[in-house]
Structure 1
Amino acid sequence: MICKWCHSKHASESMEKAYWELPDGSRAIKMTHVPSISCPDCEMVYIEDDIIDEIEDHLMLIDTKNLPDVFSYQQLLDQPKLLKKNYFKF
């Protein structure tokens, strides 16, 4: 895997924590075990765009009032959806 920041060939997949503001701006949450990329050469840890889009979309489709302050990425995906798709994404 190649690091998007330093172009090293030593980057690898990892599971990291991430902090997110809910779409309504009511609070921030901590998500654990988020699929990420970690580079030992430049020490950058980042989440790829497709995972970010998936998280953002899912947060728009669920009742975020039921979310605890800390939960895993999989727990987010397991939340029941209130809508079939994100109608706010253009």
Structure 2
Amino acid sequence: MKCQWCESYEAKETDATVYWELPDGTKAIEIKETPSITCSECGITYQTDETVGHIEDQLFLINTSALEKSVTYEQLMSLPRLLKRNYFDFSK
């Protein structure tokens, strides 16, 4: 897999812990086991645009007030949505 940062072919799919600010800015949460890319050449770990979009949409569409400080990616994605989709995302 090609690294988006250094363009080396030493990048591999991994899971990582990331920290995300809630859309309302009230707090940040830890999201464990998040699908990520890690490059052994440059040492960076990052998430694809698709994964970032999934996290941001889910945080926008769920009741974040009851959200724990730390969740796994799967737990976050399985939480029930208040809306069917993000009606404010005009990029789609």
What are the ranges of 5 or more consecutive residues in structure 2 without an aligned counterpart?
none
**Amino acid in structure 2 at the alignment position of 1:83:** L
TM-score under structure 2 length normalisation:
0.96
Counterparts of 1:13 and 1:40, CA distance in 2: 11
TM-score under structure 1 length normalisation:
0.98
Runs of 4+ with >3 A deviation: none
Q: State the percentage of identical aligned residues.
A: 47
Show the 5 A alignment for 1:1-90.
1-90=1-90
Give per-residue Cα distances to partners, 1:39-89, cap 9 Å, x unaligned: 001001000100000100011110001110000000001100100110111
What are the ranges of 5 or more consecutive residues in structure 1 without an aligned counterpart?
none
Q: How many residues align?
A: 90
**Amino acid in structure 2 at the alignment position of 1:89:** D
Q: Cα RMSD (Å) of the superposition? A: 0.5
